[in-house]
Amino acid sequence: MMIAKIINKNTINIYDITQFDLDAIMHSGQVFRYFKTKNGYDIVSGVEYASLYREDNKIIIICSDAEYFFNYFDLHRDYNQIKYSFNKIKDLQNVISLSGGIRILNADFFEIVLSFIISANNNIKRFTKTLNLLAEKYGDKLDNGLFSFPTLKQLSKTTEEDFKIIGCGYRSPYLVKAVEQLSNINLSNIAALSNNDLSKELCKISGVGPKVSACIMLFSKIFHRLDIAPIDTWLNKVLCDINEPNLLLNNKYAGVLQQYLFYYYQYLSKTL
DNA sequence: TGCCAGGGGGCTC
DNA sequence: GAGCCCCATGGC
């Protein structure tokens, strides 16, 4: 079955909803600035925006740029093949059947770096609030009334005090330094590096350690390394209960599996 | 090496 | 409602 199709420059139709679970994607911990609407979600990625809703057996995306969001939601990729490759791992059937509609997004590099620095030792509710304040204060108001994620240029004059006011806490000095470092980084140079070398480079950014660098490598469109699994405190607890954690971690699609597990254990544990 | 640094929200008890 | 922890990292 065709997964999805660009209908026109502002519209995408998704036909295979077994590969696109709207609620699961929104709650999978990759996108934070999503807003529940009457029948779906509004989201912002960088300066682009989209409304998503379900209509019969389709998901409709009405957006600022269909090409951008086709790539953002990784719609070129067949996730059934990825799920099939997990079949050899035992005891994953429940996880896959509940999380199998999640996709790894192709987010904006700058937005991902800042978002995950702010996420450090923070809870999702709280840092989402901070990210929205950041957008409202330094981003642009878009046609749908939401605010874009600020660009590097828009944050270039932001001070430690500015970041503290919106709740960044002790991460504020890291953010000031990170913005400065990011204005000098050559992305196309480091995009060719191996996982290990790339992680080392990313960890040079202030506020970025191994965990945040793994999130950047997995979620940002310039890298999109699906074999990287960021291990957060949640997944660490889960891995302690699993017999063979290395089967999960040394996998070509470890990042996808990690997202499935994150959603399964964190989101569903709250709702079941 | 081990500890500490915002603060607020959600969770457990 | 008190006490704990949080999608960690940098610096001492």
pLDDT at A90: 77
Distance in Å from B8's C1' to A157's CA comes to: 27
pLDDT band at residue A265 using 50, 70 and 90 as cut-offs: confident
Strand B contact with A126 (CB < 7 A): yes
d(C-alpha A40, C-alpha A70), whole Å:
17
Give the bases of strand C that a protein CB approaches within 7 Å.
Answer: 5-11
pLDDT band at residue A125 using 50, 70 and 90 as cut-offs: very high
pLDDT band at residue A233 using 50, 70 and 90 as cut-offs: confident
pLDDT at A94: 87
Distance in Å from B12's C1' to A119's CA comes to: 23
A234 or A252, which is more confident: A252
A177: which nucleotide lies closest, measuring CA to C1'?
C10
pLDDT at A124: 92
pLDDT at A88: 79
Distance in Å from C6's C1' to A2's CA comes to: 40
A6-11: average pLDDT: 98
Helix (H) or strand (E) holding A199, with range, is: helix A195-202
Residue nearest to nucleotide B8 (CA to C1'): A126
Strand B contact with A46 (CB < 7 A): no
Q: Is pLDDT of A246 > 90?
A: no
pLDDT band at residue A239 using 50, 70 and 90 as cut-offs: confident
| Site of tokens 């609620």 | A23
3-state DSSP call for residue A48?
strand
Among A50, A29, A15, A42, residue whose Cα is nearest residue A258:
A29
A50-55: average pLDDT: 97
Residue nearest to nucleotide C10 (CA to C1'): A207
A93-120: average pLDDT: 95
State the DSSP code for A265.
Answer: I
d(C-alpha A252, C-alpha A140), whole Å:
38
pLDDT band at residue A89 using 50, 70 and 90 as cut-offs: confident
pLDDT at A249: 80
pLDDT at A267: 66
Distance in Å from C12's C1' to A177's CA comes to: 19
Among A118, A102, A110, residue whose Cα is nearest residue A216:
A110
Residue nearest to nucleotide B6 (CA to C1'): A169
Give the bases of strand B that a protein CB approaches within 7 Å.
Answer: 5-11
DSSP strand pairing (A4-8 vs A58-63): unpaired
pLDDT at A271: 62
pLDDT at A268: 65
Among A125, A137, A149, A159, residue whose Cα is nearest residue A220:
A149
Strand C contact with A9 (CB < 7 A): no
A170-197: average pLDDT: 96
pLDDT band at residue A248 using 50, 70 and 90 as cut-offs: confident
Answer whether 0.85 is exceeded by the pTM.
yes
Q: What is the pLDDT of residues A213-231, one digit of tens each?
A: 999 999 999 999 999 999 8
A122: which nucleotide lies closest, measuring CA to C1'?
C6
A151 or A237, which is more confident: A151
Q: Is pLDDT of A45 > 60?
A: yes
A271 or A207, which is more confident: A207
